[in-house]
Every structure is written in C-alpha cells, then in structure tokens.
Amino acid sequence: MFAELGCKSAGWAWRVTDAFKFAQGHRFDIAILDIGIGEESIAPFAEELAVRRKPFVFVTGMGRTAVPDGLRGRPFVKKLFDAVDLRRAMLSALGAGAAPPTGR
C-alpha cells in the first residue's frame, strides 16, 4: 500500500522499544502507529513523536476510543482501511497540501 502511494518504507518495529531505537537511528517523514503493538501500548512512543513534532497516523481495529488520551486529535484510520483512507490520514498528519512522504 505504501508503494501504491509513492512512499518508501523505512522500516518496521514489532515492539515499542524497537520503535524508540529505530527513531533514534533513522530519518523518516511520518510514522504509522498501530495502537496495540503486541500486548504493548504505542502511547509512550506516540507521545515522544508528538514532543519531537514528528507526524504520525494511528491505525487500529478497535476504533477511535482506543487512541490514547491527549492524542485523540491525531489522524486515525480504522482497520481494515484502503490506500485512499491511509493517504488522507497521512496528508492530514503532514499538513494540508503536503506531498506524500518519501521515506528519507
């Protein structure tokens, strides 16, 4: 789906600690965050991204109420979503009129 949107995937993290490590060692334009990453909450990483002013989109099958308190205004897509839904949320996270991310 990322390729369909013209994006390059920079990497994946299957645990929150891995997401923190990845963010320290890589440049990226936007993060797509599954709210429930295994049995962990992505909230600490999302809060760190918010402090760093890095754009991100939440995805979940649980609905908007699963978005951590204080971050409910962030772009969100509910699983199962399509490329149109993801693109809309990504553009919202990046700011109106922004181009899709390049994965740098």
Work out the pLDDT band at 103, boundaries 50, 70, 90: very low
Whether residue 3 lies inside any domain: the answer is no
- In a domain? residue 76: yes
The answer to the question of residue 58 being in a domain is yes
| Per-residue model confidence (pLDDT) at position 97 | 40
Instruction: Write the CATH number for 32.
Output: 3.40.50.2300
In a domain, 39, yes or no: yes
Q: Can you give the residue range of the structural domain that contains 70?
A: 16-94
Q: Which long-range contacts (CB under 8 A, 24 or more apart) does 91-96 make?
A: 92/57, 93/30, 93/55, 93/56, 93/57, 94/29, 94/30, 94/55, 95/55
- Is a pLDDT exceeding 90 seen at residue 66? no
Q: For position 50, what pLDDT does the model report? A: 92
pLDDT in tens, 67-101: 888 898 899 999 989 999 999 999 999 984 444 44
What is the tally of structural domains in the chain? Answer: 1
The pTM of this model reads: 0.82
